[in-house]
Structure 1
Amino acid sequence: MVFHIEYPRTIPERRPPGHQPAAPRFSLRWKQPVGLLISDYFALQGQDLTWDEQADFFARLESSFGTGGPDAFERMRFTDEAGAQNAVLVAYWLDGTRHGRWERTSPFMDWFRDDARLSGERGVWRETLHVPYDRHETIYSTPNYPIGLARTPGSERVAITINGYFGAMRDRIPLSAIDSLDSPFAAMPARGIPASLGRRVKVASPLNMVSIRSGQYWEGAGNEQTADYLDNLQPKLMRGMSHLATHPDETGTLTLRVMTNLNPDGSPRSETSVHGYFLSMTLLEEWSKRHETHLDIYRHAIAMNRLHKEKREVFTWHEVFALLPGTFSEYANCHPSTGLLPWFAAA
C-alpha cells in the first residue's frame, strides 16, 4: 500500500476520453502518510566564486544537518543572468516541525542571518517552499533513479496513466480536482530594481505561484543515446528555457535557473536541473500546449521513448508545487535580479 490523496472531482480533468499514454511514466508515492512537503533552496552568490568558497559554504550547511536536518539534499551550481555564479544546495524535509526546529537551532541559520553577510562581494539567499501533499505532483521517465523528493525515505515510484496529454501536469495535482489553482494576478506584476546590495530583503510570494524543478540525467547512457541528447534534445530544451526566461509577460516566468548537478568534490555530473517560478499555471500550460519551442522538446522526447522503449537511457523528471501565499524567500547582499526579488513587494 502507498499513500495518496484523491478528491471527488468538481472540476473536469483535462484527460481526453479514452486516453492511453504512448509511453510509461511514474509518479512518487510514500509508504506512510505525508502531510507537508518542504523544499528549501540555499545559495552562495558572487562573481568568480572559487570552488574553495563553494565547498566551505556546502560544508557549513551540511555540518548543521546533524539534528533535525533534511531527509535528502543535493548540490548544484549555475550562472545567472547578471553573470554571478550561484552555488546551490536544495534540501527536502517531510516533517514541518522538524524543519522548523532545525531552522530555530541551526548554527548555519545564525551565520546566514548575521549582519556580516551584508558586506563584501558575496551574497547569500534562501527560498523556502512548503506545500500540503495535495498541492504537488511528480513525474519520472523511469522508476530506477532517485532524485529530488524521490531521495526521501519511504518513497517509491508507481506507474501512472495521467500523462502524455496537455494538462496532465495539472491533473496530477490532487487539489486540481476541486480548485482551479488560478493566480490572483490578472497580469504579470511590474518588474522592479530593488536596492538589495548591502541589505537583507525578504519576499513573500502570492497564492498559486508554481515552482517546477525538472531534471535530465544521462550518466552511463550509451554513446548513441548520449549523442542524441547532447546534439538534439538538449539544444531544444535550452531554446525552450530561453524563450520562457525572455518572455515573462507571455509565459508567466518569474525566474528560471539552468543548474548543473555536482559531485561532492565539485565536479559536474552528467545531470542538469532547471528550477523556475511561474506566476500562473495557465500561462505555463499555454506555452507547453501551443509554442513551438515546447512542442519541439515534446515531440523529440516522445520519439526517443517510442524508439528505445524500456531501453531508454536518458532519464527525465520533474516535481511541481502549487504554492500557498507567503512562500518565504530571503536575500542578503544579492544583486537585484536574483530570484523573486524583482517581482514582489519586499521589506
Structure 2
Amino acid sequence: MPFEWKYERSVPERRPPGHQPAAPRYSLRWTAPRSTLVSAYFGMQAPPGAASAAGHIGRMRGFLAEAHGPQAQEVMRCTDEAGLDNTIVVAYWTDPGTYAHWLETSGFRPWFDDPARLTGDIGYWFEALVVPYDRHETIYSAPGYRIGLARTPDAEIVPITTNGYFGAARDRLPLSAIDTLESPSGGLFPPTADHASRGAHLCALLPHNATVLRSGQFWEGAGREQLDDYMNALQPKLLRGMAYLVEQRERTGCLSLRIMTNLNEDGSPRAETSVYAAFLSLNQLEAWAESHDTHLEIYRHAIAMNRLHKEKREVVTWHELFVPGMGNLFEYVNCHPRTGILPYARVMAPVGKG
C-alpha cells in the first residue's frame, strides 16, 4: 500500500461537490513512509562562452557521487535575466539525515565556501529546499514517465481524482487539511534591493509559506500532429504566461523564475523543458492560475488536447510543488544581484564572511 500522510480535515477543501475529473491524472507516492524531502539546485552562471558547462556538471557529479549522495539527479541549463548562461544540477534526497551527512562530509561545502569562488566573472548558487512531506504535492499527465522526485527509489505513480479544478494543487498538499498556508506578508511584495553580490557570499531567507514549483513538459517521441500542436500552440502560451509572471511580480508574487532545458548524459538538449519558479505565496500563484488569461489559455488548451487524445496523449506534463516553512536559505556566491530570490529576500552574509 503506497504511503500517504493524511490529517482529519479542519480546513474546507476546494474540490466542488460531486466533481469528477475530465481526464486521468497521477501523483507520486512511496512504498514506505517519508518524513522530509530534499530538492537541491546547484547552479553556475557565466557570460556566454566564459566557462565550461561540462566542467561544472562533472565537478558536481563528483561531489554527488561521494558517500550519502542523492537518490536521483538531473542536469539542465537556462539563460537568466542578465543574459548569463546557467548550468544547473538538481539532486533529490528522501532522507534528510542522508542529505545532512552528505553536506557535512562531501567535498562540496569546502569547495563552495572557498574564497577562490569570489573572484572572476563566474558565479555559483545553491538553492536547497528541505521540506516536510506534508508540504509537497505532485501531478503527472501520464504514469509511465519518471522525472524529478519520481526517479527516487520506492517511488510509485498512482492515479488520483484530486485534479481538474482550481484549488486542486492545494488540496493535494496534505498540510492544507489543517493549515491555510497563508503568507505572513499578507501578499505584500517585498521592496526590491540591489545587493552588492559580486565578490560576496550571500544567504537569502526564503519566506515562510513561499511556494516553489517545478513544472515540466516532455515531448520526445511525440508524433507530428501532437508535436506541432505543442510547439506552435501550447508552448507559445506557456512562454506568454511565464513572461507575465515576471513582468507583474508585485501582482503575481513571483520571486524568481527560470525556464530550463533538460540535458542528456552527454550534455546535449533533451526534448524536455521545465520551469522553476518561486512565489511569495500559494494564494498569489492560485490567483494567477484561476483568473488570468495567460494561464487560462494554457489550461483550456491542455484540457482540449487531453479530451481529444485521452490515453494517447504523447506530450507529458507534470509538476512538483513545495510550500516550505521557515528556515530554508538560498546561497549565492559572486552572482549578479538579480540572481534567484536575491532582490526580494532578507539577505545576510554568512558568519565569518564579508
Sort the TM-score into its range (normalised by shorter chain). over 0.9
Instruction: Tell whether 2:165 aligns with 1:165.
Output: yes
Q: What is the match of residue 176 of structure 1?
A: 176
What is the root-mean-square deviation of aligned Cα atoms in Å? 0.8
CA drift of 1:297 comes to 0.2
Q: Indicate the percent of aligned positions where both proteins have the same amino acid.
A: 56
Residues 116-173 of structure 1: CA distance to partner in whole angstroms, max 9, x if unpaired?
0000010100001011110000000001000000000000101000000000010000
Q: What is the match of residue 336 of structure 1?
A: 337
Q: What is the match of residue 296 of structure 2?
A: 295
Q: What is the match of residue 201 of structure 1?
A: 202
Instruction: Tell whether 2:103 aligns with 1:100.
Output: no
Instruction: Tell whether 2:113 aligns with 1:113.
Output: yes
SS in 2 for 1:134: helix
Question: What one-letter code is carried by the residue in structure 2 that aligns with 1:219?
Answer: E
Q: Is the 8 A contact 1:60 1:108 kept in 2?
A: no
Question: What one-letter code is carried by the residue in structure 1 that aligns with 2:46?
Answer: G
SS in 2 for 1:202: strand
Q: Is the 8 A contact 2:204 2:341 kept in 1?
A: yes
Return the alpha-carbon distance in structure 2 between the equivalents of residues 122 and 217 of structure 1.
Answer: 30
SS in 2 for 1:256: strand
SS in 2 for 1:196: coil
Question: What one-letter code is carried by the residue in structure 2 that aligns with 1:133?
Answer: Y
Q: What is the match of residue 53 of structure 2?
A: 54
CA drift of 1:63 comes to 1.1
Which range moves more in the overlay, 102-111 or 133-142? 102-111
Q: What is the match of residue 137 of structure 1?
A: 137
SS in 1 for 2:221: coil
SS in 1 for 2:346: coil
Question: What one-letter code is carried by the residue in structure 1 that aligns with 2:67?
Answer: T
CA drift of 1:66 comes to 2.8
Q: What is the match of residue 218 of structure 1?
A: 219
Q: What is the match of residue 246 of structure 1?
A: 247
Q: Which runs of 4+ in 1 moved over 6 A?
A: none
Q: TM-score, normalised by structure 2?
A: 0.97
SS in 2 for 1:89: strand
CA drift of 1:61 comes to 1.1
Q: Is the 8 A contact 2:288 2:295 kept in 1?
A: yes
1:236-275 alignment runs, 5 A limit: 236-275=237-276
Instruction: Tell whether 2:185 aligns with 1:190.
Output: no
1:277-288 alignment runs, 5 A limit: 277-288=278-289
CA drift of 1:68 comes to 0.5
Residues 199-237 of structure 1: CA distance to partner in whole angstroms, max 9, x if unpaired?
100111221000000000001111111110000000000
Q: Is the 8 A contact 1:118 1:198 kept in 2?
A: yes
Return the alpha-carbon distance in structure 2 between the equivalents of residues 152 and 97 of structure 1.
Answer: 16
Q: TM-score, normalised by structure 1?
A: 0.98
Return the alpha-carbon distance in structure 1 between the equivalents of residues 46 and 60 of structure 2.
Answer: 18
Q: What is the match of residue 153 of structure 1?
A: 153
Q: What is the match of residue 236 of structure 2?
A: 235
Question: What one-letter code is carried by the residue in structure 2 that aligns with 1:321?
Answer: F
